[in-house]
A and B are shown apart, each in its own frame.
Chain A
Amino acid sequence: MDTDKTKNEIKERENAGKEMTSDDALLNEVTEGDYKYGFVTDIDTDIIPVGLDEDVVRLISRKKGEPQWMLDFRLKAFRYWLTLTPPKWAHLKIPDIDFQAISYYAAPVKKEGPKSLDEVDPELIKTFDRLGIPLQEQKQLTGMAVDAVMDSVSVKTTHKEALAERGIIFCSISEAVRDYPDLVKKYLGSVVSYKDNFYAALNSAVFSDGSFVYIPKGVRCPMELSTYFRINASGTGQFERTLIVADDDSYVSYLEGCTAPMRDENQLHAAIVEIVVEDRAEVKYSTVQNWYAGDKEGRGGVYNLVTKRGLCRGDYSKLSWTQVETGSAITWKYPSCVLAGRGATGEFYSVAVTRNYQQADTGTKMIHLAPDTRSTIVSKGISAGHSENSYRGLVKVTPAAEGARNYTQCDSLLLGSECGAHTFPYIDVMNPSAVVEHEATTSKISEDQIFYCNQRGISTEEAVGLIVNGYAKEVMNKLPMEFAVEAQRLLAITLEGSVG
C-alpha cells in the first residue's frame, strides 16, 4: 500500500511538474512579447507585376470576372485618384510610399474555387488554424461564421447555408458582385465615396476582396459574423472592402481580425468599410487589429490606412464601433458614424496601444445630422517605447440636429519617457440645443497604485498589466466575449517589456 501511495505521490508530483511547465509555457507565451503571427505560409500565389495603371485596374477586374459597371466604377476611382496627393495632416511620419512598387493583386492559386472545405489548399487551412481561425465546419460549435481573406481574395466563408436560411447574405464581395449585383450597386460607395480621400480612391480602384453582409428586415443574426484578414505574399498590399447592410429592425455583430507575416519591408493595407443601418437596426462592429507592427528598431510593419464609416440612415438606428489596435507600424483610421436618422445612436470604443516605433493617429467622427441623435466616444490610448499615439476625433452637430447629445472621453496612459500621447478633438456645434462634452486626461500610471500592488506581493510588471487592463476595461467590456479574451491577452503581450 505504502509503495502504491508513494508511487501515486510521485505521479502526482510529476503531473504537477508537467502542469507547471505548461503553465510556464503559457506564461512565456504571454510575456514573450514577440509577434506570434509572423510566419509565412508557403503557398502558390498568383501575383500580378508591381505597378499601377489603368491596365492593372482592368486586369484585376478581369481576374475577378467582374461586370462592366464594376470596371467603370474602378476606372472612375482610379482616374480621380491620379489627381490626388497623400494627406499630410495626421500627426504621423509616413515615409513616401511608392505606389508603383506594390503589387495590387495576389491570390493563393486555387482550382475552380473551393466547393467544400476538402478542396481548399491544406496549407491554407493550416495557416488559418495557426491563427486560431476555425475554418472547419465541424468546429463551428463556437457559433461564429467566418470569412477568411488571404491577400487579395476571400478563401472560404463558413456557415453560409445556415445563414441563408434566414435570408442573411454573408459572402465575399466578389461573389456579391456576381450574385447580388443590385444590392452591391445600390450600396457600394454610398457611404464612402471614391472621392472621399486619397486612400479611399485607391481602394475603390484596386480593391480585391472583402466581405459583404446583408441582414434582411427584422432578422436578428443568430451568430457573430467574422472576417479574418491575412497578408501573406511579400511586396503586395491589401485593399479589401467590406460592405454591411442592416435592413429595418435587424441586428448583427461583426468581428474583424487581421495579421501579417514579419517582414523588413513595409506593406500597405488600405481598406474601406461601409455600413448602412436602416430603421431601428443595430450593427456592432468589432476589430482586433494585430497587423505586424515592425521590429524593435521600427523596421518593417504594415501601414494601416483605412477608411471606415457607417451611415445610420434609419430612425433610431444604432452603430457601435469597438476597436483594439495593437498592431501596424502606422495606423491612420477613423471609424465614423453619420447619424442621419432621427434618434440614431453612434458609439465608438477604442483601445490603441503603441510601442517601439509604432505610430497611431486614430479616432472617430460623429456627424449629427438629425434631431435627438446621440453619440458616445471612449478612447483609451496607451503609449510605450518610442511610439506616438494620437486621438483625433470630430463631433459635428449640424443645425438640424435638435437636442443632439455627445459625450467624449479620451484618456492617454504613458509608459516611458520617450513616447508621445496626443489628443486632437474637433468639436463643431451649430445647434444651441445640443450638449457636447469632451474630456481628456494624460498621465502615467500612478506610483501609489504600483506601490499598493507591490505591497500585496504583485510584481511591478504584473501590476502594470493589472492596471492597464483595468484602464482598458470599459472598452474591452464592449467586445463580444470570444474577442474580449483574445484582446486582453493581446494587450498583455503587447505591453510586455514596455515597463522599465
Chain B
Amino acid sequence: MNRYPLWKYITVAVALLIGFIYTLPNFFGEAPAVQVSSNRATLKVDVGTLPRVEQVLSQALVSMDGVFVEPNGIKVRLKDSETQLKAKDALEQALNPDPRNPDYVVALNLLTASPKWLTDMGALPMYLGLDLRGGVHFLLQVDMPGAVLKRLDSVGADLRTLLRDANVRHGGINRDGDRILINFRDAETLDKARAVLAKEMTDLQVVEQGAGSNLRLAATLRPEALVKLREYALKQNINTLHNRINELGVSEPVIAQQGADRIVVQLPGVQDTAKAKDILGRTATLEIRMVDDTPGALEGALAGQVPFGAELYNDRDGRPLLVKKQVVLTGERLTDAQPGFDGQTHEPAVHLTLDSAGARIFRDVTRESVGKRMAILLIEKGRGEVVTAPVIRAEIGGGRVQISGRMTTQEASDTALLLRAGSLAAPMEIVEERTVGPSLGAENIKKGFDSTLWGFVAIAVFMVIYYQIFGVISTLALAANLLFLVALLSMLQATLTLPGIAAIALTLGMAIDANVLINERIREELRNGMPPQAAISAGYDRAFDTILDSNITTLIAGLALLIFGSGPVRGFAMVHCLGILTSIFSAVVVSRSLVNLVYGRQKKLTQVSIGQVWKPENEQGK
C-alpha cells in the first residue's frame, strides 16, 4: 500500500533535479565585470561595438573571462577586481576621448560566475535587493495637480488666441481652480464661442453658467484628457530620469512607475546620494535660439574671436556652430515632440507642438527669418549642446512645427525623445528614501544566512533524535523545501531582501509542522495497534486535511501582506507565500516518496524507526 507508481518517483526526481539546477548559480557567486552602455539615444551598443571593446582590452593587456552582448550594453567578465579597474580605465579612455562629453557609460558591475551552460539555460542567481547589495532607493512623487494647472494655464492662453482668430469677442478668460472661465456679454457670442471650442478644443468639456448680460462658459479638462495628461507627465519624467541616470554610470538602474503618480528609482551600488539627488532633481532646459550665419563669423570664433552677443556650441556630431545669445523660446513652451513623417515628401520628421504663447512668438520669429537657421539647444549642468539646427523655409504659425530633412526614422525618434526628455513634465519630490552602505549589505546577507543555517541545523538535530529514520526523512524533505524555494526565487528573479531571508527561515520553521503532524499521526496509529504499513498510510492520509487547512490560513495572511504590503514587507510576503506552496509539496509528496522508498517494498514490516512509541501501561500488556 505504500508504493508509488514509477511516474510519481520520476516527477519527484525531476522536480529535485530542476530545483538543484536552478539553485546552483547561487553557489558560484559573482565575478567582477565592466559594463559598456550608450550615453546617447542615437548611439547603439550592440554586436557592432564588440570588436572595438575587444581590441581596446587586448591592447591594454586585460584578459577577459567572457563577453556578453545584452540589450542594454556589453558586459565583460573579468578575473578579479584589479583587472576590473584596469579594464574600466582602458575602456573609459578609449571610448570617451572627451571626458566632459562622454559617448559611452562605462560602469563597474557584477556578473554571475556560474558556467556558461547554466546561464544559457536561464539559470541565474537570485536578484539581491538593495538592503543586501547596498545602494539607493528613491520613491518620487510626481506633482500631478501642478502638471494639470500648468496645462490649464496653457489652455487658457490657447483659448485667447483661438477666440481672437475666430473673431469672437469675449469678456475675459481666467482660471479658477481647475476650471477656465470665459465671460461673455450676450448669448450670441457665447454660442459662437461654443461652436469654435467644440471644433478646436476637443479636450475640453464646457458648461454654460450665469444669465442676462453676465454669461460665461466654464471649461474643464475631460477625464480622458486628464488621464492622458497624467500618463504623459509620468512617462516623460521616467524618460528624463533614464537619461539623467545614465550619466551616473549605474550598472542596473531600476526606474519604474508605481501607482498612478509615483516613480521608483533604485540605483544599486551607488553610494554618493548627494550626487544622485542632484542629478534627479536637476532641471535641464531646452532653448530655441537663432544661428549666427554671418560669413566668416564662425571661423573667427573658432580662432578665438567670438562675436558680441553670440556663443559657440557643438552639435551632436561635434561640429561647431555659432549661436546668438538671445533666447527665442524655452522648453516650457514646448508641449510635445513626436517622431513622424513629412506630409509631402514622406521623409522622417519630428513634430513639435508649442503652446499658444510659444506659437505666436514662433510665428513672428519665423516670418522675419525665412532662409536662416535656428538652433534647438539642450542645456544641462550649464553645458549646452545643439540638438538640431534646421533651416526655416517659411513662416510657421499655429504652433505646429515640423523638423525634417536628412534624418533617419531612428534619428527622428531619438531627437523627439531628447526634446521631450529635456525637462520634467511636472515637478517631482522624493517621498521615500533608503540608502544602504555596501558593508551593511554584506553583513545583512551573512546575518540572514547564519540565522537560517543554525535554525535549520537545530531543527534537523531535534527531528533526527526524536523521530529517527522518519526524522531524517523529514529533514530531507525540509532541505528539499529550501531547495525548491531558492530555485523558484532564482527562476522568477524575484528580489531577495533581508525580510525575504527572514521569510525563508520562518517558512522553514513553519514547514516542519506538516512533517511533525504526519509523524505524530503515524505514532498515534501505531500506538492504537495498527500494523506499520497501515499506520504510515493512515498517518499521511489523515494528516493531509489538517496540513491543507493550516497552510491555507497561513497563506491568507501571506496574500494579504502581499497585496497591501509595500517595500520590505512585500519581499517578505512573496517569499512566505511561495514557501507555503513549496512546503506542501515537499512535506507531503517528497517525504512520502522517501518513506515509500525506504519502507514500501518490505512486505512484512514489523517495525518502523520513528522513535519510541510509548503506550499507556494499561494497554501495554495486550
Is chain B a partner of chain A in the same complex? no
Residues of A within 8 A of B (CB): none
